[in-house]
Amino acid sequence: MPCPHCVSADKLFDPRVARRELSRLHRRGPSASTRMLIAALPRGSLLDIGGGVGAIQHAFAATAERITHVDASQAYVAVARAELERLGFTSSEHLHGDFVALHASIEAHTVVTLDRVLCCYPDLSGLVIASTAKAQRAWGAVFPKERWWTRVGVRVMNLVLRLRGSDYQGYIHPEAQIMALAEAAGLRLKSTASTWLWNVWTFQRP
Ligand SMILES: C[S@@+](CC[C@H](N)C(=O)[O-])C[C@H]1O[C@@H](n2cnc3c(N)ncnc32)[C@H](O)[C@@H]1O
């Protein structure tokens, strides 16, 4: 039985949203927080969890020998796959589903990324433990700062989503817990950056 969260993500991030996001990526490039994440990471094979239309994948495509993308949204998976093919990158695998449910069958990669994904998943420890285990060299995440305005923003967003009939919910997970989980997985903090809304943290294996 698929996780309810992933079913609602699949409905929310539908083909219309995916086309709009790709068009925005073509017009404006990656968001500031995504650019910070890309800049802070080493290169190598990439496991991009919840990668959306694939902004990080495009940055890695010139040098990566292998890219794996796992996303709860079928529409994002389809758009990201087509876009990488358009760019001439053929060594990619795109999997639709819940990474926590699929992780046992996914190999480790040099770099693992979760760009604005931790905030979309209720089971923080399950997602961090499963994803850090796949990071041979680096693990990077973009997630909301723990501030009053992000809490208010997520509550308003969740209310709007419920009123629109969506079960999809956002979460502000504790920064200290993310740090503790990554360190417990044997990773050490390499860099921190932020925008007014997002933390951009990268970790590496010592
Ligand atoms: C807010 S979107 C961010 C998309 C993209 N990374 C970006 O920054 O534009 C969250 C993404 O995470 C995906 N996602 C959330 N939980 C997931 C899970 N457990 N496994 C795989 N994908 C997940 C959603 O389907 C969605 O594509």
143 touches ligand 1 (CB under 6 Å)? no
Whether the predicted pLDDT of 14 surpasses 90: yes
70 touches ligand 1 (CB under 6 Å)? yes
Mean pLDDT (the chain, rounded): 96
pLDDT digits (tens, 9 = 90+) for 181-194: 999 999 999 999 99
At residue 1 the predicted structure's pLDDT band, cuts being 50, 70 and 90, is low
Whether the predicted pLDDT of 4 surpasses 90: no
Whether the predicted pLDDT of 172 surpasses 60: yes
CA-to-CA distance for 70 and 189, rounded, in angstroms? 24
CATH architecture group of domain 4-204: 3-Layer(aba) Sandwich (3.40)
Task: Please list, in sequence order, all residues whose beta carbon lies within 8 angstroms of the beta carbon of residue 130, skipping any fewer than 6 positions away.
Answer: 99, 100, 103
Strands (DSSP E) along 50-162, which ranges? Answer: 67-71, 92-96, 109-115, 135-144
Nearest to 99 by CA among 47, 57, 40: 47
Q: What is the pTM of this model?
A: 0.96
120 touches ligand 1 (CB under 6 Å)? yes
Residue to mutate (ligand 1; options 13, 71, 169; most atoms within 8 A of CB):
71
Quickly count: other Cβ atoms within 10 Å of residue 160's Cβ: 10
